[in-house]
């Protein structure tokens, strides 16, 4: 049974909707490792070390500082920082309703499921249906844990999701990147569009994809638990970047290439072919001649 980590209310005009918030992602599914002392198997404890005094210090001797210049910090006490915190009202105040295609996914941070709390079913359903039929999302402010968040309330299925957004100053501009000045030929663009249409799908089906690396890690963890076997693996050589003929690559992708590349299946077939037999002399005959 899912457990709410917070409760609050959505201010929808003069309507107040009591709600509960749930994590949309399961953090416990992530694999994490601890630092262990190899000799005795104990978990290592991190200590606070001052490199200037060359000694370990207590947490009570630590204050927070902001580096405003190289090696220079302005210091803050916990009391000073607390005076700057936003008052946690647990209220989600809707500021405006925007077309759903007006918020670029690059602004998306964490997502939370929103469920109605006691007595909020009808108002909750009303807001969900209104957002669905208008194809709009509700942009709102949310104050919690001393911080102020920018969020959108968006409909998903029959329910609502609160999507935390990054603020504009947290998004880096693409103008910082060198994107080049390449000129694309019409024939190249036509073939690229054809290739995209060949792999097109009208629905996103996330169940068709899985984290294969995590699955391998879990399998190795289970193997070590069961038999304690130490596993080693060969180093995988990093693929080298290579200059390609764009038109030829597009033709081959569309199935129009003349030469067939040796893929995994071709290599596997070569491995299955029997090797030439090498005549070996009986061991007894070899010993006789050795005398």
Residue 281: pLDDT band with limits 50, 70, 90:
very low
Q: Which CATH architecture has domain 6-26+87-170?
A: Beta Barrel (2.40)
Name the residue with higher pLDDT: 200 or 259: 200
Under DSSP, the state recorded for 43 is B
User: pLDDT over 90 for what percent of the chain?
Assistant: 24
Mean pLDDT of 60-72: 87
Give the containing element (helix H, strand E) for 65. Answer: strand 64-69
Taking only Cα atoms into account, the Rg of the chain, rounded to an integer number of angstroms, comes to 31
Mean pLDDT of 176-182: 87
Q: Can you read off the two tokens belonging to residue 62? A: 């630590």
What is the rounded (10 degree) CA torsion for 235, 241, 245, 249? Answer: 40
**What's the mean per-residue pLDDT of the chain?**
80
Name the residue with higher pLDDT: 162 or 37: 162
pLDDT at 237: 63
Q: What span, in angstroms and rounded, lies between the C-alpha atoms of 58 and 290?
A: 77
Most confident of the ranges 56-60, 210-214, 281-285: 56-60
pLDDT per residue over 5-47, tens digit each? 888 889 877 788 898 998 888 765 678 888 888 888 888 888 8
Q: Residue ranges of the domains in the chain?
A: 6-26+87-170
């Amino acid at each position: 049974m899912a457990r709410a980590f917070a409760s609050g209310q959505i201010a929808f005009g003069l309507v107040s909707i009591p709600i509960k918030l749930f994590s949309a992602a399961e953090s416990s599914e992530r694999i994490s490792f601890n630092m262990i002392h190899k000799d005795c198997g104990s978990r290592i404890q991190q200590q606070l070390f001052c490199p200037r005094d060359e000694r370990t210090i207590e947490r009570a001797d630590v204050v927070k500082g902001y580096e405003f210049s190289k090696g220079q910090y302005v210091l803050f006490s916990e009391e000073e920082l607390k005076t700057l915190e936003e008052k946690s009202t647990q209220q989600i105040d809707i500021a405006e309703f925007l077309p759903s295609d007006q918020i670029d996914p690059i602004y998306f941070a964490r997502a939370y499921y929103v469920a109605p709390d006691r007595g909020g079913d009808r108002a909750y359903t009303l807001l969900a249906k209104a957002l669905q039929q208008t194809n709009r999302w509700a942009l709102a402010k949310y104050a919690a844990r001393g911080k102020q968040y920018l969020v959108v309330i968006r409909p998903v299925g029959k329910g609502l999701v609160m999507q935390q957004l990054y603020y504009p100053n947290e998004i880096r501009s693409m103008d910082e990147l060198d994107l080049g000045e390449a000129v694309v030929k019409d024939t190249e663009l036509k073939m690229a569009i054809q290739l995209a249409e060949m792999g097109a799908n009208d629905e996103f089906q996330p169940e068709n994809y899985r984290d294969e690396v995590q699955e391998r890690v879990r399998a190795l963890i289970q193997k070590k638990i069961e038999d304690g076997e130490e596993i080693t693996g060969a180093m995988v050589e990093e693929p080298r970047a290579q200059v390609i003929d764009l038109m030829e690559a597009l033709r081959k992708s569309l199935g129009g290439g003349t030469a067939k590349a040796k893929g995994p299946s071709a290599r596997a077939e070569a491995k299955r072919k029997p090797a030439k037999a090498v005549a070996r002399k009986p061991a007894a005959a070899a010993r006789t001649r050795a005398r």
